[in-house]
């Protein structure tokens, strides 16, 4: 199967939170406020096209407030970027293609400033890269396919330089991996047809990794990998569970899709697990709450989609929601604001679609 997050495996060492362990926020959401004042920095990378479904798309922010992501040019090719202290650095990996859909995408940055990403070459094959100290290292996992839309896609890097990601093999199946000291270790949950690592910060400094796998019945589950062992992470009453990020305390955030297609965020913590249903989130198919990032304070960033399929960014912290609607964000169907990253200083990065469906990035600081 192919989805934005791709799927993965399962093991005999499984863990499923029981329903009583999960705390619903039905009572807490009444405390949420529709808008919070703060400082917005709009990110429009030089070279980004000011056109339909093109523009600047931040992916991650580190503790120093440095943002990485990608932008799409006028012909539809991708370029990575770093934004730091008001300055943009464009990243084009060696071998990246220059046609529509091809090119470079930066997806993660650690506290040392090492940048991780992937690129699509002129034959539409994916390759990973690590950009550190001004040099590129190309990452091609053993077993990765070499045909169009196959290959290697790293997802996350910790402060020790350990990398988690996945590759698509020649049979069009996803396989997870961890890359440490130039060695690849395969990540597979037993019995899974596909395994992928979460698209957010999916590896912490302890080497714990989270991701997702698809079982034989086509159902998607989350997993945590630690010291060679897997535990299953399934949200209650779910159809599919997607684990997206893990912090240094081992707390996991992500979202699940229930049997009616409604989306619910979650925060899986040390003592209790919390269902995140944002105020004003729609309750129809493909509406609801999605959470993608969690900092070491337990603040969660993501978005919710309202009844009209308009997106609104959100930060959840200690029982309260902060709603983020970027200046000039569109208010029509499939427009609006999404938060994709948050650091320990409560700096949030993400993107929004404006009224003309052009994509702009942002940094928000309360």
Query: What is the reported pLDDT for 11?
Result: 27
Please indicate, yes or no, if residue 208 is contained in any of the structural domains. Answer: yes
If you write DSSP's letter for every residue of 153-186 in order, what string do you get?
A: EEEEE-TT--EEEEEE-TTS-EEEEEEETTEEEE
Residue 312 lies in a domain: yes
| 235 in Cβ contact with 206 (< 8 Å) | no
Position 240 pLDDT exceeds 80: yes
Residues 199 and 210 sit within 8 Å (Cβ to Cβ): no
Q: Is 226 exposed, middle or buried (0-12, 13-18, 19+ CB in 10 A)?
A: middle
**Whether 19 contacts 313, CB under 8 Å:** no
Q: Quote the domain boundaries for residue 332.
A: 19-365
In a domain, 7, yes or no: no
Is residue 162 in some structural domain?
yes
In this predicted model, which residue has the larger pLDDT, 183 or 20? 183
Domain assignment present for 1 = no
Output the domain CATH number for residue 286.
2.120.10.30
Say whether pLDDT at 18 is over 70. Answer: no
Q: Which two three-digit tokens encode residue 247?
A: 């912090």
The answer to whether position 2 is within a domain reads no
Of 122-131, 167-176, 236-245, the least confident: 236-245
Which of 156-170, 268-282, 318-332, 342-356 has the weakest average pLDDT?
Answer: 268-282
| pLDDT given for residue 235 in this prediction | 87
**Is the pLDDT assigned to residue 9 strictly greater than 80?**
no
Q: Using CA atoms, how far apart are residues 354 and 245, in angstroms rounded to an integer?
A: 27
- Residue from 349, 345, 234, 263 nearest 301 by CA: 349
Q: Tokens representing 321? A: 């929601």
pTM: 0.90
Report if residue 5 sits inside a domain. no
Closest listed residue to residue 365, CA positions, set 36, 34, 32, 29: 36
State percent of the chain over pLDDT 70: 89
pLDDT number for residue 366:
85
> 35 with 329: CB under 8 angstroms?
no
pLDDT at position 238 is 66
Length of the chain (residues): 366
Using pLDDT thresholds of 50, 70 and 90, give the confidence band for residue 34.
very low
pLDDT in tens, 210-223: 999 999 999 999 99
Predicted pLDDT at 7:
36
32 pLDDT higher than 50: no
Q: How confident is the model at residue 36 (pLDDT cuts 50, 70, 90)?
A: low
pLDDT over 60 at 142, yes or no: yes
Could you read off the pLDDT of 48-78 as tens digits, one per residue?
Answer: 999 999 999 999 999 999 999 999 999 999 9
Please state the rounded mean pLDDT for residues 193-211.
96
pLDDT attached to residue 30: 31
Number of domains making up the chain: 1
pLDDT of residue 272: 77
Q: How far is CA 219 from the centre of its chain?
A: 20
Q: d(Cα 191, Cα 232) in Å, to the nearest integer? A: 13
Q: For residue 322, what pLDDT is reported?
A: 96
In 142-286, the DSSP E strands lie at 151-157, 163-168, 174-180, 183-187, 194-197, 209-214, 220-226, 229-233, 240-246, 252-257, 263-268, 273-276
Judge whether residue 196 has pLDDT over 50.
Answer: yes
pLDDT at residue number 312: 98
Pairing of strands 220-226, 229-233: antiparallel
Let me know if residue 12 belongs to a domain.
Answer: no
Query: What tens digit of pLDDT does each residue of 327-357 get?
Result: 999 999 999 999 999 999 999 999 999 999 9
| Collapsed DSSP state (helix, strand, coil) of residue 360 | strand
């Amino acid at each position: 199967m192919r989805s934005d997050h791709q799927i993965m495996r399962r093991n005999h060492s499984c863990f499923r939170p029981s329903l009583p362990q999960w705390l619903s926020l039905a009572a807490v959401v009444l405390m949420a406020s529709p808008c919070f004042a703060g400082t917005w920095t709009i990110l429009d990378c030089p070279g980004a096209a000011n056109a339909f479904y093109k523009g600047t798309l931040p992916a991650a922010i580190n503790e120093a407030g440095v943002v990485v992501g990608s932008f799409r040019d006028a012909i539809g090719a991708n370029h990575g970027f770093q934004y730091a202290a008001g300055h943009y650095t464009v990243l084009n990996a060696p071998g990246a293609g220059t046609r529509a859909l091809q090119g470079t995408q930066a997806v993660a940055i650690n506290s040392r400033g090492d940048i991780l990403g992937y690129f699509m070459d002129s034959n539409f094959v994916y390759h990973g890269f690590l950009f550190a100290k001004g040099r590129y290292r190309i990452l091609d996992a053993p077993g990765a396919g070499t045909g169009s839309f196959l290959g290697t896609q790293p997802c996350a890097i910790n402060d020790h330089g350990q990398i988690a990601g996945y590759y698509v093999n020649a049979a069009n199946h996803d396989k997870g991996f961890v890359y440490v000291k130039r060695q690849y270790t395969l990540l597979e949950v037993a019995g899974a047809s596909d395994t992928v690592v979460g698209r957010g910060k999916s590896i912490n400094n302890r080497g714990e990794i989270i991701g997702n796998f698809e079982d034989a019945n086509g159902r998607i589950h989350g997993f945590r990998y630690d010291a060679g062992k897997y535990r299953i992470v399934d949200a209650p009453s779910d159809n599919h569970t997607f684990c997206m990020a893990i912090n240094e305390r081992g707390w996991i955030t992500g979202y699940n899709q229930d049997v009616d297609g409604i989306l619910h965020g979650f925060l899986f913590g040390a003592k209790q697990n919390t269902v995140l249903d944002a105020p004003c989130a729609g309750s129809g198919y493909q509406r609801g709450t999605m959470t993608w990032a969690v900092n070491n304070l337990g603040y969660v960033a993501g978005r919710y989609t309202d009844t009209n399929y308009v997106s609104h960014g959100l930060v959840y912290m200690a029982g309260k929601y902060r709603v983020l609607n970027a200046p000039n964000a569109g208010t029509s169907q499939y427009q609006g604001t999404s938060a994709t990253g948050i650091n320990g200083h409560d700096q949030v990065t993400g993107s929004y679609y404006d009224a003309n469906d052009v994509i702009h990035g942002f940094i928000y600081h309360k």
